[in-house]
Amino acid sequence: MKQVQIPQELFVQLIHYHLMEDDSYMDEIRIGLEKKLDAMVLRELYGKAKTAPTETERKKARQEYLDRRGIPDSFRW
C-alpha cells in the first residue's frame, strides 16, 4: 500500500476535526485534501506519460497531464 504525505498543518486540522469534533477547520481541510488529491493525480499522469507500455498511452497521458496543468496548446511541442 502506498503512503501519502500531507503538511503538518493539515494533519493537525484533521486531528482537531476528528478527535476534538471541531468543525471550524472543515473548509481548510477540504481545500487541503483537494490540493493533495490534485497533486496525486498529476503525479500519476506524469508517471504514466513517461512509463506507459505503448506510445499511444503515453501520448494520451501526456495530453491529459498538460490539460490539467493548464498549459496552452500554443506552448506545447
Per-residue pLDDT of the chain (77 residues; tens, 9 = 90+): 989 999 999 999 999 999 999 999 999 999 999 999 999 999 999 999 999 999 999 999 999 999 999 888 888 77
Which three-class secondary structure state does DSSP give residue 24? helix
Other CB atoms within 10 A of residue 45 CB: 20
At 24 the pLDDT is: 95
Residue 1 lies in a domain: no
**How many domains does one find in the chain?**
1
At 73 the pLDDT is: 82
Residue 13 lies in a domain: yes
Residue 70 lies in a domain: yes
What is the rounded distance in angstroms from the CA atom of residue 68 to the CA atom of residue 60? 12
